[in-house]
Amino acid sequence: MKFLSPRQLPLTIGLLVAAIFVFFPLISAGEFSLREPLKQTHGFDNYVWFFTAPDFGKYLGISFGLAVLSALILLVILVPTVIWLNLGGARFRGFVEFISLLPLVIPVVALAIGAQTALPDFAQTNEVILAFMFAVLAMPYAYRTLDTGLRSIPLKTIVEAARGLGASWFHTIVRVVIPVVRSTVTSALFMTLALSLGEFTLTSLLHWDTFTTWVTTMSQSNILGAISLSVFSLVAVFVLLLAISIFIRPTSNTVAQEEN
Amino acid sequence: MTQTEARLNRKGVPAWGTLTGRWAAIAVALLPLLVFMCVFFFAPLLDVFVSSFQDNNGAFSLLNYADVFKEPILTAMRTSLGLAFCSALVSAVPGAILAFLIESRGSERLRQIIASISGVLANTGGVPLAFMFVAALGLEGSATGFLKLIGIDIYGAGFSLYTFWGLVVVYAYFQIPLMVIVFSPAIHGLRREWNEAAKTLGANGAQFWRYIGVPLLFPSFLSAFLLLFASAFSAYATARAMTNGTIALVPLMIGNLLDGNVIFDEVNLAKALAVAMVVVTLVAMIPYLIIQRRAERWQR
């Protein structure tokens, strides 16, 4: 038994404790969400309840719409910037890095108060504003991911080849560069999606309603329902993100290894 | 061909070579980002900063800041700082140990799996996490019931999920994975050759750690600790969903000032509080960023 050898034993114990800490609450919450106090049994009543709740689809739709929009906003803004930084604009790298990492440093609560009063008028009356704010929050992660990805490929050669063959800048980016780093772009995209789907602070402080705030509102009338919703969304996000990180990372590594 | 063009073209930079091309590139690549950040990030923050120095009529005033140092805000500030400190400490130590075990003894495959899982867990938080813990470790929670069944009555021992230490436990769920992510590269960067070199020169294991390992790793540990501190200090959603305001924390207080039926003059107080929060996170994060950058030098 290799993992019980004196050298491996501490690691085995550490991983075991970590696994208990991660799965114990998740599994107990899962059990809790299946309780049916009135019938004194376990079953899927709570899950059925939220799936058939009249607003479930509506708020899930709003959240998904906002998440997709914020991911698109980020990509449209960041992809040209990061490509440019890795070609001719290297002098501005420190400056851009600083600006895009700042949202990590500022508490979301602080940003939310300012957003209440300082945003342009059109933004105060339309919830689409949330997509822009989510994009700000996801900026540090998206920037890092895109930059790491574009650094690991021979970007200059690829761009010169495409340009030399007569492609426009737009075509170079959309048809050549993005496909090469598609795993990076996808993971930046999904990180933004996950962050936007779970965002609560800005949404509730700006008095909009999305899926997450709907869950909190629901918890006041049906705590079991809200808990099953939470378990459902945690597991869904876990599976989604794990699938991405397991299926995507290896390909980006092979690209880097083959071409460096 | 001008001299500038010739110079740039020798370096093999197409299109940006000409002066107009370079301005066009800045306009397309940099300007959208700057405008976007100005409108949706800097403008709101500037507004917070400016109005925090104003009274209700817009005249200059330091009264908001005077209130920050009065009760009940003083207590909230103390609790928030204490929570951030305890949460960072409670999560940083096991996180660092775990990162060390995985990096030093784990296989490449295991390291990748742990990195993926940590990345996922570090991004949980907010409302679902709070409800998950209510279901698990709440008074009626199933983990609480299970522990009671095997003879551990945590509520009998004085634990409650809806208190300071309850929050520390819940935060650990995303803080420990965050620690593993941030601290692993530092351990990974400790080269095996350094250990071998020290051994060749006659150092034993303890001496290696005393004079080489710990001094090299300590800055990284400290910077990771500061990141955890800032993350716990500014967390809002989890605390809000879990405690429902039973613990006075600065972010929750700001939320209440904005949410509730409060008189108008408290909005600027909320802004002063927000500025105070920004100051605290900056004090923690600036050393973090500096240390990270320095550490990157020897970690390659």
Domains of chain B plus CATH, in order, are 3-51 (no CATH), 64-299 (1.10.3720.10)
Residue A46 lies in a domain: no
Model-wide pTM > 0.90: no
**For B178-229, how does the pLDDT look when each residue is reduced to its tens digit (9 = 90+)?**
898 888 888 877 777 777 788 788 777 777 777 777 888 888 888 889 989 9
Residue A207 lies in a domain: yes
- Structural domains of chain A, count: 1
Taking an 8 Å cut-off on Cβ atoms, the answer to whether A80 and B32 are in contact is yes
- Asked if residue B41 lies in contact with residue A136, where contact means CB atoms within 8 angstroms, the answer is yes
**For B240-278, how does the pLDDT look when each residue is reduced to its tens digit (9 = 90+)?**
888 776 788 888 888 887 776 555 557 788 888 889 899
Collect all residues of chain A within an 8 Å Cβ-Cβ radius of residue B129.
230, 234
Residue A242 lies in a domain: yes
Residue A187 lies in a domain: yes
Of B22, B39, B281, the CB nearest to A105: B281
Amino acid type, B155 = Y
Place of tokens 């795993």: A183
Question: What CATH number does residue A214 fall under?
Answer: 1.10.3720.10
Query: Considering only CA atoms, which of B280, B271, B285 is closest in space to residue B45?
Result: B271
CA-CA distance, A54 to A74, in Å (whole number)? Answer: 32
**Which helix (H) or strand (E) is B27 found in, with range?**
none
| Best-predicted range by mean pLDDT (B8-12, B62-66, B239-243, B278-282) | B278-282
Structure tokens, B141: 């929670």
- Asked if residue A71 lies in contact with residue A139, where contact means CB atoms within 8 angstroms, the answer is no
Collect all residues of chain B within an 8 Å Cβ-Cβ radius of residue A243.
none
Concatenated DSSP letters for A65-88?
Answer: HHHHHHHHHHHHHHHHHHHHHTTT
pLDDT at B83: 92
Q: End-to-end CA distance of chain A, in Å?
A: 39
Collect all residues of chain B within an 8 Å Cβ-Cβ radius of residue A99.
33-34, 37
Q: End-to-end CA distance of chain B, in Å?
A: 41
pLDDT at B88: 93
CA-CA distance, B34 to B36, in Å (whole number)? Answer: 5
Chain B interface test: which of A28, A50, A248 (most B C-beta within 10 Å): A28
Closest chain A residue to B240 measured between Cα atoms?
A201
Cβ within 8 Å of B, A 219-238: 219, 223, 226-227, 229-231, 233-234, 237-238
Question: A194: domain range?
Answer: 55-259
Residue A91 lies in a domain: yes
Q: Dihedral through CA B72, CA B73, CA B74, CA B76, nearest 10?
A: 90
Residue A204 lies in a domain: yes
ipTM: 0.81
**For B121-172, how does the pLDDT look when each residue is reduced to its tens digit (9 = 90+)?**
887 777 888 888 888 888 888 888 888 888 788 887 778 888 888 889 999 9
Collect all residues of chain B within an 8 Å Cβ-Cβ radius of residue A92.
30
Q: ∠A94-A91-A70 over CA atoms, to 5°?
A: 55
Rama region for B158: left / alpha / beta (φ>0; ψ in -120 to 50; rest): left
Low-confidence ranges of chain A (pLDDT < 50): 250-260
Residue A39 lies in a domain: no
Chain A interface test: which of B41, B104, B139, B140 (most A C-beta within 10 Å): B41
Residue A200 lies in a domain: yes
Collect all residues of chain A within an 8 Å Cβ-Cβ radius of residue B102.
11, 14-15
Cβ within 8 Å of B, A 241-260: 241-242, 245-246, 249
Minimal Cα–Cα distance from B256 to chain A, Å? 9
How many CB atoms are located within 10 Å of the residue B20 CB? 9
CA-CA distance, B94 to B101, in Å (whole number)? Answer: 10
Minimal Cα–Cα distance from B218 to chain A, Å? 21
pLDDT at A140: 87
Q: Dihedral through CA B251, CA B252, CA B253, CA B258, nearest 10?
A: 100
**For A54-106, how does the pLDDT look when each residue is reduced to its tens digit (9 = 90+)?**
888 888 889 889 989 999 999 899 988 988 888 877 788 888 888 888 888 88
Quick one: how many helices (H) and strands (E) in chain A? 14, 2
Collect all residues of chain A within an 8 Å Cβ-Cβ radius of residue B14.
159-160, 163-164
Query: Considering only CA atoms, which of B91, B77, B74, B37 is closest in space to residue B231?
Result: B91
